[in-house]
Amino acid sequence: MKISGILLSLLCLGTTILYSQDIIDARQSVILEAEVQESPPGITLKWVLDTLNGGYTIRRKAKNDLVWVDSLVSLGAGSTSWTDTNVTVGVAYEYQIIKSLPAFPFPNGTPNFGSGYIYSGIKVPPVHHRGACLVVVDSTFKQLLAPEIIRLLADIEADGWNAHAIYVDRNDPVTVVKSYIVTWAANYPDVHQALFLLGRVPVPYSGEIAPDGHHSDHRGAWPSDGYYGCLDGIWTDQTVNINSPGTRHDNVPGDGKFDNNVFPAPLKLQVGRVDFANMTKFPESEEQLLRRYLDKDHHWRTGKSPAMERALLDNNFPLDLEALGQPGWKNFAAMFGFSKVKELPYRQTLTNQSYMWSFGCGGGGPESASDISSTTNFTTDSLQTVFTLLFGSYFGDWDYPNNFLRAAIASRTCLASTWADRPNWFLHHMALGEHIGYSAQITMSNTGRYLPPYYGIYVHTALMGDPTLRMHILEPVENLTASQDGLNVQLSWQGAAAAIGYFIYKKTDTDTSLVLLNQWPVTGTSYTDPCPGSGGITYTIRGVELRSSASGTYYNLSAGVSTSIQSNPVNWVLNPVIVPCSLNQTNGSVSVDPQTGCSPYEFQWNTGETTAEIQGLEPGNYCVTITDCLGCSETYCADVTETSSASNLLNLVYSALYPNPAVEQVALMVDLHTAQDLQLDVYDARGTQVAHQSYAGQHVHLVWDIRHLPAGLYRIRMESEGAVKWFSFVKS
């Protein structure tokens, strides 16, 4: 990267800039933070004073809108704040502030501007489902890292994604790999689709570019992971002809490297890569570095590697007219506020102090940025930063052996790195809970929605790291258990100290994703899932906190903790009493006395009545649905007969049903005055027939094996020539 000159007169400008920010970074940025209030709702935007600007224009849009609406307000040069009162609690808004810069920094009077962005809201609701994520894994590590890959997929699921994995050979053509990705994307459409390239997934190359400015020795094809995320448009391999034998940048027709300098269409997938091939300066092997990254990833997601919520900047090109430090200032102020963004030496500070985000810019080579750090240093350092923006010559071409950008995430602490300035990265949504892959997608697709768009859609732009990572972590719950409690499943867990409540999700064998059970968080550490039915069920618990940042407030969810149970609820015990009708009378009755579930109960008969007992019945079939206090329900049907029918049938001498309750067998004994042909049927409490037998004779002695029957109430119906007699027993 070449350093631009600047007039000495710039050093004499009478601009008031907070803190020690470099003047060119400050003048070409609007450094924003926000304060929010709930009643009356208001979002107050604040920015650093710049008395030599020509005024401010503020615009607003919804996050997913493609264009900014007309300006909300125009403000004078002395303004440092503005309050938007046309806002609603629970809705997030994205703001753009443009300040005019008359004749700065160009002495010929060319118009210029500074820009700033913030994504703000008041108590923005939690995001329960984030999207679908495909992890494309280098098959070299399918077995070697199997436990870590399984854990990674579980961790991604625990943050609200539907996670999938495929394995590819590191020597596959990139077109073949992309065909797998395209198929997955078509099969799993979602609100977000993230693509995590893990290991030496084949590297696409494209273009005739030199975005670091080194046209003499660094122009040609650069690695382009965005190829995998760009599902529309045409990629050609016909026109570019740069023949530099033996270099990675040569690009000739038909060589498998594409012609495109820019993405032919906006990216549909949010792409990130973790790849430690050819990182030979590290003493660890490629496998060991991948394992270490996946361990770091897991520890971060589960709150085991906390970081101080502040940011550090170290721009060693303070006089470059491009304002190379602006991505750090603009993003970090929206995340942490003015007072928590510091200009400090990169390596010296991070060796001993924790800063969640960092920015480092210096003269670069493939393995270093001057006065920042180097790949060699990263092999031993444990710099205390999680997300880092780095800029300098050469190392934006991340497929170099021992590349500096990849070395950052190969180190012991860092999880994500980007080549920050070409293009400028727009990460402000993360301050309100968005994941870094979303920022990668809008940055790689930026044609002018965010200013400046310099190199906004060039094919080299890439994220090193897991694209599903977020910056705010709430510790998950612990010791989650599930147990059967009659008809219900009872959950209990140990809560997180910072949580204000908990959301419960479940997934049955027929569900494709988690189903939210409670729309509002429960404040206790137990939950009853009423009447879930039979079968395998997985339950997930996520804590929630009201998180404040320098952009606003939102409800932030912890990673989910899951447990599974094979639900096998008890059968209902209803204790029905059936009184038959007298001949040609309507004086029969049916009553139920539930002993299962919880009171109070609701009753709904097919006659329309809503009491536990119905009377004045004629012969017929009567059904009732019983619903308990938790909404569990059971349906029971009874046949009301005429008493004369039974006497005509039987002329009974003796009858007995034993044992009652029964466990393994039940015996029926009946003595009749005369021999008869009998039909005997056994019904459960729902009226379903479970056994049948015929018998002819005067003396009946039958034994049924009932070990296969579930516990509950059963009835035996004995019929002859249209007359019926009922017997009841309980299987315990």
Mean pLDDT, range 232-246, rounded to an integer: 91
What range defines the domain where residue 552 resides?
478-565
**Which CATH number covers residue 687?**
2.60.40.1930
Is 705 found in the same domain as 678? yes
Q: Where is the domain boundary, 611, 637, 663?
A: 637
Residue 523 placed within a domain? yes
Name the pTM for this structure. 0.85
Of the listed ranges 435-439, 441-445, 608-612, 669-673, the least confidently predicted one is 669-673
- Determine the pLDDT at residue 437: 98
R_g of the chain, CA atoms, integer Å = 36
584-636 tens-digit pLDDT:
888 899 999 998 999 999 999 999 999 999 999 988 889 999 999 999 999 88
449-482 tens-digit pLDDT:
999 988 989 999 999 999 999 999 999 999 999 9
- Determine the pLDDT at residue 7: 31
Phi/psi at 43 (5° precision): -120, 115
- Determine the pLDDT at residue 21: 59
Residue 714 has pLDDT above 70, yes or no: yes
Is 577 found in the same domain as 499? no
Mean pLDDT, range 336-364, rounded to an integer: 97
Any bridge partners for residue 92, and if so which?
121
266-297 tens-digit pLDDT:
999 999 999 999 999 999 999 999 999 999 99
Of the listed ranges 18-32, 92-106, 497-511, the least confidently predicted one is 18-32
Distance, in Å, from the CA atom of 730 to the CA atom of 399, rounded to the nearest integer, reads 74
Is 109 found in the same domain as 66? yes
Residue 9 has pLDDT above 50, yes or no: no
Residue 213 placed within a domain? no
Is 599 found in the same domain as 502? no
What does the block give as tokens for 614?
A: 């119905």
Higher pLDDT, 147 or 110: 147
Q: Where is the domain boundary, 565, 589, 610?
A: 565
Is 111 found in the same domain as 43? yes
Instruction: Supply angle C-alpha 390, 395, 397, rounded to 5.
Output: 120
Residue 320 placed within a domain? no
- Determine the pLDDT at residue 650: 55
Of 478, 395, 75, nearest to 214 by C-alpha is 395
Residue 263 has pLDDT above 50, yes or no: yes
Note if the bond before 173 is cis, omega within 30 degrees: no
Is 650 found in the same domain as 610? no
Is 624 found in the same domain as 549? no
Is 616 found in the same domain as 523? no
Is 662 found in the same domain as 631? no
**Which CATH number covers residue 504?**
2.60.40.10
Residue 587 placed within a domain? yes
Mean pLDDT, range 152-169, rounded to an integer: 97
The pairing of strands 633-640 and 665-684 is unpaired
Is 608 found in the same domain as 586? yes
Contacts 24+ apart (CB under 8 A), 684-688: 684/709, 684/712, 684/713, 684/714, 685/571, 685/572, 685/574, 685/576, 685/634, 685/636, 685/712, 685/713, 685/714, 686/634, 686/635, 686/636, 686/637, 687/623, 687/636, 687/637
540-596 tens-digit pLDDT:
999 999 999 999 999 999 999 999 999 999 988 888 888 888 888 888 999 999 989
Is 39 found in the same domain as 99? yes
- Determine the pLDDT at residue 109: 66
CB proximity list for 377: less than 8 A, separation 6 or greater: 347
Mean pLDDT, range 120-128, rounded to an integer: 98
Task: For the chain, give the mean pLDDT.
Answer: 92
Q: Where is the domain boundary, 515, 541, 565?
A: 565
Phi/psi at 652 (5° precision): -60, 140
302-324 tens-digit pLDDT:
999 999 999 999 999 998 889 99
Residue 97 has pLDDT above 90, yes or no: yes
Distance, in Å, from the CA atom of 524 to the CA atom of 541, rounded to the nearest integer, reads 12
Higher pLDDT, 53 or 237: 237
Q: From the centroid of its chain, how far is CA 255?
A: 39
- Residue matched to tokens 């049907």: 637
- Per the structure, the count of domains in the chain is 4
Residue 73 placed within a domain? yes
Instruction: Supply angle C-alpha 266, 268, 274, rounded to 5.
Output: 110
Is 633 found in the same domain as 575? yes
